[in-house]
Amino acid sequence: MPEKLPSRSEDFSEWYNQLVLRAELADYAPVRGCMVVRPYGWALWENIQQALDRRFKETGHVNAAFPLFIPMSFLEKEKEHVEGFSPELAVVTHGGGEPLSEPLVVRPTSETIIGYMYAKWIQSYRDLPVLINQWGNVVRWELRTRLFLRTLEFYWQEGHTAHATEQEAIEETLRMLDVYADFAINDAAVPVIKGKKTESEKFAGAVMSTTIEAMMQDTRALQSGTSHFLGQNFARAFEIRFLDQNNQLQYVWTTSWGLSTRFIGAIIMTHGDDQGLVLPPKLAPIQVVIVPIYKNDAERSAVLETAQRLFHELQAAGLRVKLDGREEMTPGNKFYEWELRGVPVRLEIGPKDVQSGSVTLARRDRPGREGKSTVSQQGLPETIRALMNDIHRSLLERATAFREAHIFDPKDYAEFQEVVQRGWAFSWWCGRKECEAKIKEDTKATSRCIPFEQPGGSGRCIVCGEKADQKVYFARAY
């Protein structure tokens, strides 16, 4: 039997790193801070892509592709944007063995190049809204990296929209945040809190940044998706203007929004256990694995025949299923491997199951005997679908209960400093950057979001004691 993973309680960071490698989700690339996403990890990302892409298209968005290289002058047009990203830029100065007349930035995000193109395409109010999404990769020169969570190069989608009115653009910003939250909760079983970023934490160049924030099992926060109202900042920088219905020249209002492979890290750290991954059924690359069990050739023939029949039945029902017929591995080693890889449902079929017309089901979210049951082979696809719905519900309830148990409302700043070392603080904040900066300096916790759902009324700032009319989530974060 392979060596066990480190336990989460002993070393959560090492548990995470080892799990990503051993479950063959990703590996380290030869360039520091970069990763190779392995086929199993990419299959998980593809399922995330499909779940999001379907939602984007349902809300009227279309996909396009924009260049990887951006002229340096484009970033310099939007001052706040370039100042925000300048420490993270990768810059190309030579091409074809010759110095370039202008340095090119490897895109950290695409607002500038897309703004340039929108200025060419948008002339009239009839051209609006423009609702475009791009799937691709970006580069940000991070100092401290970790597989999926923070790498120099990562994969994501970035939506970029242009609108005739401010109200329409704000509505789009919030609509796409709702899309992210719906995906996180209903496909990934990751409970998230929707809210607005503070001025100190918002996206460079944005008027307003909104976010979905999730709590990992070490109680750290993970920013899991963001949607930004950009106002007219990029429109003015790139002269994106249109003639309105009164034949007046106006600047458009723009948004951008993105979710990346970082979300794979969210799934790992929200649901995983000491045995390995626990994948939400709707996104798992393999939803069901069939493990035949036999002792001799006579048993082998009957067991494999039944296993093959059930494999085809489940596949025909649209389930992602794998039959593990490897002869060189024991059933016990197969169980270990598929538990490590987080497959939601395991089917065990032995000679007695063949005779009785049954199978043994093992659900990954409940390891050991608690998660095992014997069911009929008749109507097995329907049985498994119902089971997967129950697994999703169970994962979501468990993660939500964990989060709620680790959110605190400290009575004073001394208690605040203590609770953010073991959870999140939900505290009144006066809105002053000085108080926010003090929290970060004293505790390494940051403001995660000003949630849209507020308790109402007012209170006293947890830092300075001045009157405050909003409560904020503060936590240590990835």
Give SS3 for 427. strand
CATH 3.30.930.10 fits 12-271, yes or no: yes
CA distance 264 to 47: 11
HEC readout, 401-415: HHHHHCEECCCCHHH
C-alpha distances in angstroms, 79 versus 75, 87, 112, 146, 230?
Answer: 8, 14, 11, 30, 14
Alpha-carbon distances, residue 476 vs 16, 257, 394, 400, 424 (angstroms): 17, 23, 26, 18, 8
From the list 477, 449, 457, the residue with the least C-alpha distance to 220 is: 477
Distance (Å, rounded) from C-alpha 448 to C-alpha 196? Answer: 9
pLDDT at 83: 77
pLDDT on residue 100: 98
pLDDT at 1: 64
β-strands 62-63, 130-139 pairing: parallel
pLDDT string in tens for the chain (478-residue length): 678 999 999 999 999 999 999 999 999 999 999 999 999 999 999 999 999 999 999 999 999 999 999 999 998 887 777 677 788 999 999 999 999 999 999 999 999 999 999 999 999 999 999 999 999 999 999 888 999 999 999 999 999 999 999 999 999 999 999 999 999 999 999 999 999 999 999 998 999 999 999 999 999 999 999 999 999 999 999 999 999 999 999 999 999 999 999 999 999 999 999 999 999 999 999 999 999 999 998 899 999 999 999 999 999 999 999 999 999 999 999 999 999 999 999 999 999 999 999 999 999 999 888 899 999 999 999 999 999 999 999 999 999 999 999 999 999 999 999 999 999 999 999 999 999 999 999 999 999 999 999 999 999 999 999 999 999 999 999 9
What secondary structure letter does DSSP report for 122? -
CATH pick for 288-386 out of 3.40.50.800, 3.30.70.1430, 3.40.50.170, 3.40.50.300: 3.40.50.800
Domains of the chain, by residue range, sit at 12-271, 288-386, 408-475
User: What CATH number belongs to 408-475?
Assistant: 3.30.110.30
Dig out the tokens for 351 from the structure: 């000679």
Rounded CA separation 18/33 (Å):
16
Tell whether the torsion through CA atoms of 81, 83, 84 and 87 is positive or negative.
Answer: positive
What pLDDT is stored for residue 442 in this prediction?
98
